[in-house]
Structure formats: C-alpha cells, structure tokens
Amino acid sequence: MEKRAAVAEQSLECLTRADLDAMDSRERVKFVNSLPGFKSLALVGTRDRNGRANLAIVSTVIHLGSDPPLLGMVSRPAKVPRHTYENIRDTGVYTFNHVHESFFEEAHQSSARYPREVSEFDAVGLREHWESGIEAPFVAESRLRVALKLVEFLEVRANGVNLIVGEVTHAFFPGEIRETDGFLDLAEAGTLAGAGLDAYYRPERIDRLSYAKPDRPVRRLEPGIGDPGQETVEKL
C-alpha cells in the first residue's frame, strides 16, 4: 500500500480539452498520438490494379479476434488519394510486415507521399517478396509477415477514419520464436514498437504470467512453455 500511495502523490501535469484545442495543430497531433502508448508497427504491402507494388508504414494495427483470425488497421479519411486504402479496396488483399532495427529508417521513409506510379519499395530501398498464391507483396527484410484478405471497411462517423478489417490467410515467422502454447516472442524476432508519429523502440520482455483467476495467485511462466493449464476462455 505504501508504494501505491507514493505513486498517487506524484505531481502530474494536466491538459484539458480546451488546452488541446488551443495547441498548435502540429503539436496537438504529436501529443495525442503519444497518448495510446507504445503501438504496433507494420509495413503494409499492396498492389494496384496494374500490378504496381505499394508500401506504407502504419502504427494502427490491432487484434480483433482469433476465430476467425481478424486484424484491424485504421486508415485516415479518403478525402485525398490514399494509395494503400484504394489498393486494398480494389484488390481485396494486402500484407503486414513487422519492422526491425536493420531497416527502420527505410520503413519510416515509406510514409512520404510518393506519386502513384512510384513504388515505395524502390524509393526506400526495400525488396519485394512474393509467395505463390498470394497476390500482394511482402517485405523481404521482415522476419514476421502476415497475408490478409479484406473483410470489410467500418467508418468512424465522428471523424471519417476507416477501420479496415482483414482475415489472416497466411503467417510466416521464424520457428524458434513460437512457444509451445502458440505465443510468439516478438522481442526474440527483433520486432520494433512505435510511439507518437516518429519514435521507434526496442521492446524487452519482462516475463509472462499465468492466467489470472480469483482463487489462485499469479505465477511466472517457464520460458518457452507458456501456461499449459490455461483454459480457453473466449474465442477472441
């Protein structure tokens, strides 16, 4: 209790909605983008109707469900050309590729607004990788790659952004990062995390903990084993 009380007594700065409205727009964007905490990074690989490859980094990938396996990605309003959004809409397929330290600068550069006829793969110096039967490009340098097919677009009426819902069709990863209960050790894979619009971090796992139940204390799990006694609680 003493530790909790000490945390509660810390002096924290507070900004209100009025303060946010009064901010310079660029400062507000960077501030609000930092509020969700560390975020998943992915390079999204797509192709247009003419077969031209496109690549864009995003930090809005989320898990939506495991049965069926669904991942979501937020796309900004399509008031101006959005090549990734349009390619997914037109072809129905795309890929997520984890970002690693060896090419995070090239990944960041893919967010530049290149003309439609320019492939970001070529512009930033990353290599396309294609798998048989998958009509969207992967990033060859990435060690964890996911292929998806479009399920639906969901518009957020408050600001016009779209949640792109995709179903996982294939996942490629180094076998040694998969633990016996299905967990993937992303730190071992070298996957980076992001914060705000332009900050990159190396995640470090502290530990894995057992499934929480009211009648038993939490315990630390043996590395590589996971929680053999964990029940399947829900399909998500």
**Cβ distance 156 to 107 under 8 Å?**
no
pLDDT at position 1, please? 44
Q: Is 151 left (phi over 0), alpha (psi -120 to 50) or beta?
A: alpha
**Cβ distance 94 to 48 under 8 Å?**
no
Please name the residues in contact with 236: beta carbons below 8 A apart, sequence gap of 6 or more: 65, 66, 67
Tell me whether residue 182 is in a domain.
yes
Helix H, strand E, coil C: the string for 117-149 is CCCHHHHHCCCEECCCCCCCCEECCCCCEEEEE
Phi, psi of 83 (to 5 degrees): -60, -45
**Cβ distance 218 to 204 under 8 Å?**
no
Tell me whether residue 14 is in a domain.
no
Tell me whether residue 19 is in a domain.
no
Tell me whether residue 10 is in a domain.
no
User: What CA–CA distance (Å, rounded) separates 173 from 100?
Assistant: 13
pLDDT at position 228, please? 64
Return per-residue pLDDT of the chain as tens, 236 residues: 455 555 556 799 999 999 999 999 999 999 999 999 999 999 999 999 999 999 999 999 999 999 999 999 999 876 666 899 999 999 999 999 999 999 999 999 999 999 999 999 999 999 999 999 999 999 999 999 999 999 999 999 999 999 999 999 999 999 999 999 999 999 999 999 999 999 999 999 999 999 899 999 989 988 777 776 665 555 55
Phi, psi of 64 (to 5 degrees): -110, -20
Tell me whether residue 33 is in a domain.
no
Residues facing residue 147 across a β-bridge: 95, 170
Residues facing residue 96 across a β-bridge: 44, 146
Domain that holds residue 57: 38-201
Tell me whether residue 18 is in a domain.
no
pLDDT at position 222, please? 83
E-only strand ranges, the chain: 39-40, 42-47, 53-58, 61-66, 69-75, 93-97, 128-129, 138-139, 145-155, 162-172, 193-195, 199-201
For the chain, the domain total comes to 1
Tell me whether residue 222 is in a domain.
no
User: What CA–CA distance (Å, rounded) separates 8 from 125?
Assistant: 48
Tell me whether residue 52 is in a domain.
yes
List the CATH number of the domain containing 185.
2.30.110.10
Model pTM?
A: 0.89
